[in-house]
Amino acid sequence: MFNKIKQLLPFFCYSFLLSFLFCINACNTKKENTKAIKNDWWKEAVVYQIYPRSFKDSDGDGVGDLKGIISKLDYVKSLGVDAVWLNPIYASPNDDNGYDISNYREIMKDFGTMKDFDLLLKEMHSRGIKLIMDLVVNHSSDEHEWFKQARSSRTNPYRNYYHWWPVEKGKPPYRWSFFDVNSDAWKFDSLTNSYYLHYFSRKQPDLNWENPKLRNEVYDIMKYWADKGIDGFRMDAFQFASKDTTWPELPKGYEKNVIKYYGLGPHLHEYIKEMNKEVLSKYDIMTVAEGAGSSPNEALDFVDPQRKELNIAYHFEGVDVGKNISEFGLEKYKAIYSRYDSVFAEKGWLSIFLANHDQPRMVNKFGNDAPEFREASSKMLTTFILSMRGTAFYYNGDELGMTNIKFNSITDYNDVATKNKYLEIQNKGGDTTAYIELQKLTSRDNGRTPFQWDTAANAGFTTGTPWLKVNSNYKYINVVTEIDDKNSPLNYFKQMIQLRKNNKELFVYGKYELIDKANPNVFAYSRTSAKEKILVLLNFNKEISRIVLPKGYSLGDELINNLQPLKLQGSDISLQPFQACIIKLK
Ligand code: BGC
C-alpha cells in the first residue's frame, strides 16, 4: 500500500501543481474582467446645478428663492437628473452672491427660512433627488460673528480664526487677490492696526485652517447639515485653505499659475484627511473638490480612495480655454481630457462639466450661439457631457440652450469680479471699452441671468423686477416652448440622460479611447464595457467636418443623433456643423 502511494505521489503532485496553476490563471482572468473602479451612486449621478438666485422667484422680490425651487421640483424630476447642487443658500450680505457667509447655520433671508429648507430637502428626497450643498470655508464674510470678534482686538479668542499681519512688521509680503480692486489680498484694518488676508473680495476674509479650533468649528457645521440628511458637499475653493504662513515672496510670473503658488498649501491633505475622519466617514455623503491642483496627478491625490479624502475631482483645465474653444484649439482640448482620463483609469473619479455659475454659457464658449447653430451646438455639448467617463455636472438653463446676455454697460453687471476689475482698469487709465467687449464672452453674469420658464414677462422668473436682467431671447428659448418641440435642446437633454442611465456600464464606467487625436474639428472617442462598444462623434466646428473610421470599426445601430442622417461613404464620415452622433460598434 505504502509502495503504491509512493508510486502515485509524483502524479498527485503534478495534478496538484496543475490545478494550482489553473486556479491562479483563472483568478487572473477574473481580475482582468473585473473593472478596477467600483460602482457608486455619485459616479452614476447626473448632477443638475441650480443657481438659486436666478431659478424661480416665489414672492415677487426679483430674487429666486427656496419656495421657487420647490415649485419647480417636478420640472427638475422630469429632466431625469439624480441630484441637485445648490449654490450657497446660507445667510450672507451677498458681496459675492452667497459665497461670503455670515452664518453657516442660517438661510439667506432673500431665499427664505430654515423651514423652507427642510421642506425643500423633504420634497427632493420624496422625488428621489439628492441634494448637494456648497460648503464655503476657505473664507467667511467679514460680517460673520467670528470676524467681527477677530477684528475687535488682537487678543480676542477669535483672532486666530483669520490671517493677520500687524503694521509694526511693515507691509505684508504681497499676495494677489481674485476680486480686489487693487488685486491686493491684504487689507489694512485700522481697528487693530493690522492687515487681514482675503484671496477673494475684501468682504471675504480667509479663514485660518492652521488653527485646529477653526477646523473643528467647520466640522461641526458640516455635521449640522449632514445630520439634516443632505447628500453631499461641494467644497468651494478648498484647494486654497492651507497656507504657507511664513508668507514667502512670490516668484516672478506667479500670476500665470496661481494654483501652483496659492493652492495645495503645506497641510491641505492632512486637513482633508482629518475632515474625512471626523465627518465624512461617518455619513453616506459625497464630496466634490472644486479645483484640484494643476495636474491630473494632483487631482487624483484628492480622490484616490486609498487616501480617504474626497470623492470627485472638479478640475478647471476643461474650462480654462480662454475666450472660446475655437481660439484654444480642439486638439489641445482633446489632449486634456485624454490625459486626465488615463490618470484616472484605474482609481479616483472625475467630474465632467462645461459650465457653472463662474462661467459664461456653454453654447457661447464651446459651441456657437448664431441662430443657425445654437440648438445643434447645445445638443452636441450635451452629448459630450453625458457620454464621457466621470460624473456629469450640468448647469441650469443649458438644457434650454440659454446664451450669454452680453451686457453693453458696466451698470448692467452685478458680479463683484467684473465690477472690481473694471474699476481697477479705470483707475489705471486702461481700456474699459475693450474690457466690456471681453466680458460679453467671459463674464460670470452671462451664466447667471434668470432662468427662462415661459414667454410671460421676465420669462416667468419673477413678477417683480429681476435682480439681473433677463435675456431678451426668452421669447423663444424657454421651457414651455421647448417642452412642446420634440427636437428641442430640452428634449434632447432628457433623451441623452435616459441613454446614459440605461447603459451605465458603457456610458459611466466604460473605457474611454480617443480616436483621430489630430483631427482639428471632430472630437471622437469610443467607450467600451465588458460587453459592448460605442463610438461618439462630435463636430465642434461650424463647417462640415470629416473623420475616417479606424480600421476594424464596423458601425451598428445609431443610439442618438442631433442632426440626422449621418453621411457615410465607406469608412469616410462627414459631419454637419455641430453634429453629434453615438453609434454602436459591431
Ligand atoms: C466659487 C465662486 C466664488 C469663489 C469665492 C469659487 O470657486 O465658485 O463663485 O466667487 O469661489 O468663494
pLDDT digits (tens, 9 = 90+) for 518-570: 999 999 999 999 999 999 999 999 999 999 999 999 999 999 999 999 999 98
Task: Give the distance (Å) from ligand 1 centre to CA of residue 130.
Answer: 22
For the stretch 176-227, pLDDT in tens is 999 999 999 999 999 999 999 999 999 999 999 999 999 999 999 999 999 9
| Average pLDDT score over residue span 274-284 | 98
Phi, psi for 560 (deg, rounded to 5): -160, 150
Q: Using CA positions, which residue lies closest to atom 2 of ligand 1?
A: 358
Catalytic residue set: 236, 290
The closest residue, in CA terms, to atom 5 on ligand 1 is 99
Better-predicted residue by pLDDT, 24 or 269? 269
> 99 in ligand 1 pocket by Cβ < 6 Å?
yes
* Ligand 1 pocket residue status of 288, Cβ below 6 Å: no
Residue nearest ligand 1's atom 11 by CA: 237
Backbone angles phi, psi at 563, to 5 degrees: -145, 70
Q: CB neighbours (10 Å) of residue 530? A: 13
Separation of 467 CA from ligand 1 center, angstroms?
19
Report whether residue 416 contacts ligand 1, using a CB cutoff of 6 Å. Answer: no
Rounded to the nearest angstrom, the distance between the alpha carbon of 421 and the centre of ligand 1 is 16
Q: For ligand 1, atom 3, which residue shows the shortest CA distance?
A: 99
Q: Where are the alpha helices (DSSP H) in 392-540?
A: 416-427, 432-442, 479-483, 489-502, 504-507
- For residues 474 and 452, give the distance between their C-alpha atoms in angstroms, rounded to a whole number: 6
**Angle (deg, nearest 10), helices 489-502 and 374-385:** 20
pLDDT of residue 256: 81
Give yes or no for residue 236 CB within 6 A of ligand 1. yes
Task: Tell me whether the omega of the peptide bond preceding residue 520 falls within 30 degrees of 0, making it cis.
Answer: no
Question: What is the model's pTM?
Answer: 0.94
> Using CA atoms, how far apart are residues 91 and 462, in angstroms rounded to an integer?
22
pLDDT band at residue 8 using 50, 70 and 90 as cut-offs: very low
Residue 11: predicted pLDDT = 44
Q: Looking at residue 24, what is its pLDDT?
A: 43
Q: How far is the CA of 237 from the centre of ligand 1 (A)?
A: 6
Is residue 259 lining ligand 1, measured as CB closer than 6 Å?
Answer: no
Q: What is the pLDDT of residues 458-502, one digit of tens each?
A: 999 999 999 999 999 999 999 999 999 999 999 999 999 999 999
User: What are the residue ranges spanned by the domains of the chain?
Assistant: 1-36, 43-136+371-407+443-509, 145-197, 510-585
Which atom number of ligand 1 is nearest to the Cα of residue 416? 10
Judge whether residue 39 has pLDDT over 90.
yes
Fold adopted by 43-136+371-407+443-509: TIM Barrel (3.20.20)
Average pLDDT over every residue of 392-399: 98
Domain 510-585, CATH 2.60.40.1180 — does that match? yes
Q: Percentage of the chain with pLDDT > 70?
A: 94
**237 CB under 6 A from ligand 1?**
yes
| Strands annotated E in 92-129 | 103-107
- Looking at residue 194, its amino acid is S
Q: Report the alpha-carbon distance of residue 106 to residue 91 in Å, rounded.
A: 5
Ligand 1: nearest atom to the Cα of 291: 7
Which CATH code for domain 145-197? 3.90.400.10
What pLDDT was estimated at residue 13? Answer: 43
Average pLDDT over residues 230-245: 97
How many beta carbons lie within 10 A of that of residue 373, not counting itself?
A: 17
User: Whose C-alpha lies nearest to ligand 1, atom 1?
Assistant: 236
Which of 444, 474, 442, 437 is closest to 458 using CA atoms? 474
**What mean pLDDT is predicted for residues 144-161?**
98
**Ligand 1 midpoint to CA 241 (Å):** 13
Rg (CA), the chain: 26
Q: Is the CB of 136 under 6 A from ligand 1?
A: yes
User: For residue 306, what pLDDT is reported?
Assistant: 97
CA of 550 to the centre of ligand 1 (A): 43
In which residue are the cell numbers 419656495 written?
A: 67
Residues 385-389: what's their mean pLDDT?
Answer: 98
